């Protein structure tokens, strides 16, 4: 059965005194998330590209507690930048409690457009597709690794990481190949990171927004509105992000969020494996999971000489 997720103000209030690092936080969902964390008494580290400095600084002045927020310019693909981000956060606020891996991009031209050819009729390489995959998967992986590293010694309540996936990571069929591929990768990262995160008592979950009016959706926002389909606001997603980051019962979950519709995806998928694939597959997967757990994880192959 589908599991609805409700927003509990008492849970959101638990942000008070915590430090949240949010990537891609100068605008859109990231900015709304920073604002809501601040409203609930958190220290906020706004991480975004240098060109967004003015927007980030304007955001800080609008926060409930502007003196408890900082902007750190960062390219999430630059390892030195990312190290500096977390070091700066710890230096300013003492520790990091919550990491929101929000930064992401979408291609601006169709990756599978067969008309994208040079003067000789040869298909052009899609550098933009590679950039989307790099930012959305490699950048998110950088955020997860440094998030775990920064919170590994926090104690009993070590920390929380929220990945911003997408409904495109589960149902993507719109032909936006690089973005959809990358968001499936984020869901894979959610699943594959659980063992490492739980080793240090860090909860790692995801939020999978559907339509939200941001830069990415600007070209069809009016059409969506006119259709009458359920929609988010950035604030809606921010509430789900805070709820997910602070709810201590959540481990490895992912919440599909679209306006009034907020449904858990990962546990629901697991519960339906037998109906979906049959009892033999359920038993196979369960047995394989126990085997790998007994081996301490998947035994990695040796490098070839």
Distance CA 162, CA 217 (A): 22
Positive or negative, the CA dihedral 222, 224, 226, 231 is negative
The answer to whether 179 is a known catalytic residue is yes
Identify the active-site residue in 65, 170, 179, 251. 179
Tokens of 54: 């003015």
**Residue partners of 279: CB distance under 8 A and separation at least 6:** none
Distance CA 47, CA 91 (A): 15
Which residue, among 209, 204, 184, has the nearest Cα to 261 in the 3D structure? 209
Distance CA 46, CA 53 (A): 10
- Which parts of 94-164 fold into alpha helices (H)? 127-133, 140-151
**Residues annotated as catalytic (active site), given as ranges:** 179
């Amino acid at each position: 059965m589908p599991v609805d997720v409700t927003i509990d103000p008492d849970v959101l209030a638990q942000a008070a005194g915590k430090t949240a690092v949010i990537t891609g936080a100068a605008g859109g969902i990231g900015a709304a998330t920073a604002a809501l964390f601040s409203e609930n008494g958190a220290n906020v580290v706004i991480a975004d590209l240098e060109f967004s400095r003015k927007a980030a600084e304007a955001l800080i002045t609008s926060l409930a507690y502007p003196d408890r927020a900082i902007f750190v310019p960062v390219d999430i693909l630059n390892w030195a930048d990312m190290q500096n981000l977390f070091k700066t956060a710890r230096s300013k606020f003492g520790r990091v409690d919550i990491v929101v891996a929000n930064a992401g991009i979408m291609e601006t031209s169709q990756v599978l457009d067969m008309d994208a050819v040079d003067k000789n009729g040869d298909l052009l390489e899609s550098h933009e597709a590679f950039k989307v995959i790099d930012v959305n998967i490699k950048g998110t992986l950088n955020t997860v690794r440094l998030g775990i590293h920064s919170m590994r010694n926090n104690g009993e309540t070590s920390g929380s990481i929220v990945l911003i996936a997408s409904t495109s990571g589960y149902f993507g069929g719109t032909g936006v190949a690089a973005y959809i591929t990358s968001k499936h990768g984020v869901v894979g990262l959610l699943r594959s990171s659980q063992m490492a995160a739980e080793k240090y008592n860090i909860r790692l979950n995801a939020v999978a927004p559907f339509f939200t009016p941001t830069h990415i959706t600007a070209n069809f926002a009016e059409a969506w509105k006119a259709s009458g389909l359920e929609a988010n606001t950035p604030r809606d997603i921010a509430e789900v992000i805070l709820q997910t980051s602070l709810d201590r019962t959540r481990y490895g979950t992912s919440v599909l969020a679209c306006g009034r519709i907020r449904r858990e995806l990962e546990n629901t998928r697991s519960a339906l494996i037998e109906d979906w694939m049959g009892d033999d597959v359920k038993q196979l997967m369960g047995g394989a999971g126990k085997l790998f757990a007994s081996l301490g994880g998947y035994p990695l192959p040796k490098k070839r000489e």
